[in-house]
Amino acid sequence: MKFTGQNSEYLEIVDIDKSYAKILNESKQSELLLIWFKTDNNKINIDAIDYIFNANDIISLTEFHTIRVDQIIQATLIKWNRTFYCVVDHDIEVGCKGILYYGASTVPIIKLDENHIDVLTTLFKMLYIEMKSRDNLQLEMLQMMLKRLLILCTRIYKEQNMVSKLRTQSIDAIREYNYLVEQHFKTKHTVTEYAALLFKSPKTLSNLFKKYGATTPQQFIQNRIMLEARRLLIYSEKSISEIGFDLGFSDLQSFSRFFRKQEGNSPQKFRNREVLPTK
């Protein structure tokens, strides 16, 4: 079951078993995942470490995790892109760097008790119902419900006092870079600026991204700026000049050049083409 919005934002809920486990190997750029295992003895290799997940374990993953499914019996997967809901941009406490997403840590594993199961089961039922809705409030409702889910999972994880440990430094560096871009993409537009924050050279970052098959560090920044630009052009009433200024461009011309290079159209043409129909 999948919701897709006007700006390519999406939220998808999938019940998976061993015949459909390959979906976990198909994580896309800017995608976040939450997996709720419904049976015991699910075997998954994540970042070269073997895990066994049992009934009512929940894990959170990002596009930077390398996943190999060895055995999965039954689970529910919920995934979305950052255009739909960015856990860092929207609410820093929901992402909780080092808790659910973007932290330099091992995979967070949440263990549900009976009370947790009841609450989350109800929340998922509401999500399924809302996914079938077709009105102009659907996006906002789904974002609110996803936020509620993330808050609950974050609380449970904190309550269980599961302390993460640092692991692979190279993968952690990419996640840290990703996190910093989420924090500063409106004001910092160059790899050099992020490299300084990480105490690394731009070349080191480029090599890390190349090694793990991601986009280049500069493309990552540009993609994040474009994501926000498209969102504001479609969903806000701000002028194009205001949007460019909000995203750190000194004038309309520089923003328009950047946008046209990335999109192939001017901001105005994009806005005219993607304008939402009135109800």
**What is the mean pLDDT of the segment spanning 38-65?**
88
Place of tokens 């509620």: 148
Give the list of residues 6+ apart from residue 241 with CB closer than 8 angstroms, or none. Answer: 251, 252, 255
- pLDDT exceeds 90 at position 191: yes
d(CA 15, CA 97): 28
d(CA 276, CA 27): 29
Domains and CATH numbers, the chain: 2-159 (2.60.120), 169-274 (1.10.10.60)
Give CA 175 to chain center in angstroms.
12
d(CA 240, CA 225): 14
**What is the mean pLDDT of the segment spanning 44-72?**
86
Quote the pLDDT of residue 276: 46
Quote the pLDDT of residue 214: 56
pLDDT confidence tier of residue 278, bands split at 50, 70 and 90: very low
Beta strands in 103-230, from DSSP E residues, in sequence order: 109-111
Candidate from 31-35, 79-83, 244-248 with smallest mean pLDDT: 79-83
| Per-residue pLDDT reduced to its tens digit, 115-155 | 999 999 999 999 999 988 878 889 889 999 998 999 898 88
Q: What is the DSSP letter of 107?
A: P
Candidate from 16-20, 86-90, 91-95 with smallest mean pLDDT: 91-95
Is pLDDT larger for residue 212 or for residue 118? 118
**What is the mean pLDDT of the segment spanning 59-69?**
82
Q: The pTM is what?
A: 0.63
Is pLDDT larger for residue 93 or for residue 45? 45
What is the dihedral sign for C-alpha 165, 170, 173, 178? Answer: negative
Instruction: Return phi, psi of residue 138, to 5°.
Output: -60, -45
Quote the pLDDT of residue 210: 82
pLDDT confidence tier of residue 162, bands split at 50, 70 and 90: very low
| Per-residue pLDDT reduced to its tens digit, 235-265 | 788 999 999 999 999 999 999 999 999 989 9
Beta strands in 93-226, from DSSP E residues, in sequence order: 109-111
| Region of residue 230 (left: phi > 0; alpha: psi -120 to 50; beta: else) | alpha
Beta strands in 27-118, from DSSP E residues, in sequence order: 31-37, 42-46, 49-53, 57-62, 67-71, 74-81, 109-111
Quote the pLDDT of residue 30: 75
